[in-house]
Amino acid sequence: MANLKDTLVNRVLVVDDDAALIAEYLRCLEEDIDPAWGTSTLYDLEKALFGQEQAEKGAARFNVQTQNQGEAAVEAVKAAVAMDAPFAIVFLDIRMPPGMDGIEAAKKIRAIDPDVNIVIVSGSMGPEVDNLDCEIPPADKIFFFKKPFHAVECRQLAAALCGKWHSDMALRHANEELERRVRERTTALHKLAYYDPVTRLPNQLLLLEKLQGLIDKSEDSEGDSVVVLLDIERFSFINETMGYDAGTELLRSIGSRLQRAFCSEDPGKRAVVGRFGADEFAVLMPGVEHDIAIRDFAERVKQTVEEPFLIQGRDLFLKASIGVAWHPVHGRDARLVYRCAEAALHRSMRSPDGSITYYHSEMRYRARHKFDLEAEFRNAIESGLITAFYQPQQFTDTGELAGVEALARWIRPDGTIVPPSDFIPLSEELGMSDLLFESVLTRVCIDVAGWRDAGDWTVPVSVNISAHQLRNADLVSLIKKVLQKQNIEQNLINLELTETALLEDLTIARPVLSDLNAYGVGIHIDDFGTGYSSLSYLAQLPVQTLKIDQSFVANLTESETNTRVVQSIIALGKAMGLEVVAEGVETDRQYAILRKLKCDLVQGYFIAKPMPADRFCHWRAGHADTQSLKHESAIVNIDKGRG
Ligand code: C2E
Ligand code: MG
Ligand code: MG
């Protein structure tokens, strides 16, 4: 393609085997130029094109090169194009024995230079020139010129065609520039449509297309295409406490770490890493050949993001919930496979340990039957099938009953008991968690009113609330309404909020907690130790009690380190004036250690399992005896341990 410098030159190639005619052309086109360089070598040609003479002559309109055979003409055109100095016109004699004729040469020239104007010159108008435009397209660049011609005719034709050539070139330039801009714009739009602007990773749309691409080619490839979706637990907390920039930096670091870990493998099996949602990433891996490899891959994804990230000088330890689904087992369409991975991810997000969930068809069944389930659940709330079981807490120093935790249970008409881990997430999904909370709190208030009215009830009952409830603007008035209706004093009710729920959105939690505190109900932090919070952070909130997470209690006897962790939580909690409860106490050994560590309260199977209200009444009646026995045995145990 000619550049602008070259297009200022009118370059003409004249091809004729008749030396006299060549001279005539030169006379017509180059009256003021020495005809000697008409038959120039490449060197001369170059000089003529870019050299001094040209500029000095100024007025010269045509730079003419001549050839007397078709083959040489083709070579000259080739050389000119290669030098980026193409001809505007080639005058081609139709017959040049013994070599190639003009038409043949024209075809070859056209194949080399699509822009040059070719003028076939002949003394007669034979049939061979009838279809020139079809034979040597495009039609607007092939012409016929009859010999003998007048000098003026030749000059005018050359001038007109050179002018046309220059406009063609300018138009071509403009078009190319336009195409370049369109390409640039398309790339930018493609990026916008298919890439996440923060991490520059493929977005959901591109991830879908990539998987569909793999599925379409799956007949030729071996193994499954696996989708691993991962959600960063409590990302919003990091955003909130360390700032938006830290959150962005973290997202980018996660993306690039995943890419380094999975995208540099064998190109045939290269994974795609993308951002699937706010704090969700996807890793798509083709050609995974068996279940063990799928599990291995998912584990590796989890490990990769759970290695600490250094963000703004701080080590961040993340927890990822993972959902896994794969083609062709879970669907033959990309959308379906992702939906399955999402269902599995949501299951993981609801499980307390942020595990890896592999999709199974039961989840699809559940999704399909969501409507039925919704109706059943609503009915369960309305008909009082959701009730509370009670689990006692006792003082470690005296063994006396210190409080009770109310734990929701769904008792189906056939008597089966559904645990809260199954229906609380469902209630949240269905937007019915406030209804559920109201019905559990009402149940608790009715039971407490009964115990109180029977005589000597003084201890508080703890009711669990979820993060969802904190977002309910009417939470405080709802609690007041229920308590007032059953005439229950505020000091008989505590609310238990998990540390994670509390920190999910502190801007929302803080004012709600203040209102609840002002109203007079107690606020307890549940499952403490599983989140990121520091105790000093919690100290700014109006809470009274910390419940050490069961996992710490379960490991209590295993090592000195675990004991020291529990010991520090207790010590720090107390230093801040908080009461400390250990939950999940199952053995006398654990009880004894907690007692020794001066944990205020314990709760767990060692004392009693959660039970329905009537059984709890029986248990309480006999509590004084049985508990002092257990309490004593724990004391003996610890004394033995000491000895
Ligand atoms: P949580 O509040 O931490 O309750 C303690 C859980 O540990 C209960 O499980 C209890 O049955 C169990 N547990 C108690 N002692 C022991 C023990 O010694 N060993 C073991 N292995 N487990 C013990 P549950 O009743 O299945 O409740 C699970 C979670 O569901 C609760 O954890 C709480 O977060 C939530 N939950 C329960 N009821 C409600 C409710 O009405 N509303 C809301 N939002 N959440 C609730
Ligand atoms: Mg609780
Ligand atoms: Mg708990």
Strands 386-395 and 601-603: antiparallel
Residue from 524, 555, 244 nearest 405 by CA: 524
The pLDDT-based confidence of 39 (bands split at 50, 70, 90) is: very low
Q: How far is the CA of 86 from the centre of ligand 3 (A)?
A: 83
Give the per-residue pLDDT at 68.
Answer: 94
Give the per-residue pLDDT at 211.
Answer: 94
- Domains of the chain, CATH where assigned: 4-175 (3.40.50.2300), 204-359 (3.30.70.270), 370-642 (3.20.20.450)
Q: How far is the CA of 527 from the centre of ligand 3 (A)?
A: 4
585 CA: nearest ligand 1 atom: 18
Query: What are the backbone angles phi and psi of residue 392, rounded to the nearest 5°?
Result: -75, 155
Residues facing residue 224 across a β-bridge = 288
Residue from 150, 160, 218, 140 nearest 12 by CA: 160
pLDDT digits 0-9 by tens, 187-208: 888 888 899 999 999 999 999 9
Pocket test for ligand 1, best of 387, 404, 462, 464 (most atoms within 8 A of CB): 464
Place of tokens 């092939």: 142
High-pLDDT (> 90) share of the chain, %: 55
Q: Which of 383-420 are b and which e, b meaning 16 or more Cβ less than 10 Å from the residue's Cβ?
A: eebbbbbbbbbbbbeebebbbbbbbbbbbeeeeeebeb
| Token code pair at residue 311 | 């963000």
Q: Identify the nearest ligand to the CA of 607 by its number.
A: 1
Say how far apart CA 65 and CA 77 lie, in whole Å.
10
Q: Which of 27-64 are b and which e, b meaning 16 or more Cβ less than 10 Å from the residue's Cβ?
A: ebbbeebebebbebeeeebeebbeeeebeeeeebbbbb
pLDDT digits 0-9 by tens, 427-471: 877 778 899 999 999 999 999 999 999 888 999 999 999 888 888
pLDDT digits 0-9 by tens, 108-163: 999 999 999 999 999 987 887 788 888 899 999 999 999 999 988 999 999 999 99
Question: Which residues line the pocket of ligand 1, CB cutoff 6 A?
Answer: 391, 407-408, 419-421, 424, 440, 464-466, 496, 498, 526-527, 550, 583-586, 604-605, 610
Residue 271 has pLDDT above 80, yes or no: yes
Place of tokens 């770490």: 257
Residue 362 has pLDDT above 80, yes or no: no
The mean predicted confidence, pLDDT, of the chain is: 86
433 CA: nearest ligand 1 atom: 44
606 CA: nearest ligand 1 atom: 18
Mean pLDDT of 215-243: 86
Q: How far is the CA of 498 from the centre of ligand 3 (A)?
A: 7
Whether 10 contacts 54, CB under 8 Å: no
